[in-house]
Amino acid sequence: MSLNELTTLTASLGFTERNDPFKLFAEWMEDAKKSEPNDPDAMSVATVDEDGLPNVRMILLKDFSERGFVFYTNFESQKGHEILATGKAALCFHWKTLRRQVRVRGIVETVSDAEADAYFKSRARDSRIGAWASQQSRPLKARFELETAVAMATARYALGDVPRPPYWSGFRVRPLSIEFWHDRPFRLHDRVVFRREKPDGEFSKARLYP
């Protein structure tokens, strides 16, 4: 067995003994920040529409804690409408350099106005202007239409702060399950899932066949 294989095996066996999924996720995220060349906080977000047809897209995780996983968006977008309608979503993180994956499924709540305001103010000014200009997910006749909307929003907020649009805020996914997956030789991967019945309940842990 090579040194790299031994290191992977040791790390894998260590994670299966952990009993706190949030601390384990924090450790894996820190590892990803050191190894992933682009966007270690990238994740796919899955929702379902009114016909039960799934939708998935890549966005960025902006915060996480024992309260849940937070991202921000236009609530009038497709994902916004679908999440507000169902109150449910699933997330998936995949860190190729580490050969690790985390899947999250849970109940979704909106963040507080104070949280949304604080994050919106942290964004680049052009991004804040863009939030006013873009009618996210709706038909766009031509690129010029978007550029015109950006110019108008820029003129409107030429001086002073750019306030948060009333339709722009954040979602917090409060997990009912968090599954950790770690690549192992011969596809005999390690899988550990933490589950609970309600967002404020206690987790139980189980190992899964790969």
Residues with active-site annotation? 187
Task: Name residue 152's amino acid.
Answer: M
Q: From CA 190, how far away is CA 108, in angstroms rounded? A: 28
* Structure tokens, 104: 């999250």
Q: From CA 40, how far away is CA 67, in angstroms rounded? A: 20
Residue 186, Ramachandran bin (φ over 0: left; ψ between -120 and 50: alpha; else beta) = left
Three-state secondary structure call for residue 177: strand
Q: From CA 182, how far away is CA 16, in angstroms rounded? A: 10
Q: Are 62 and 71 in contact (CB under 8 A)?
A: yes
What is the full DSSP assignment across 64-86? EETTEEEEEEETTSHHHHHHHHH
Q: Are 41 and 88 in contact (CB under 8 A)?
A: no
Q: Are 41 and 61 in contact (CB under 8 A)?
A: yes
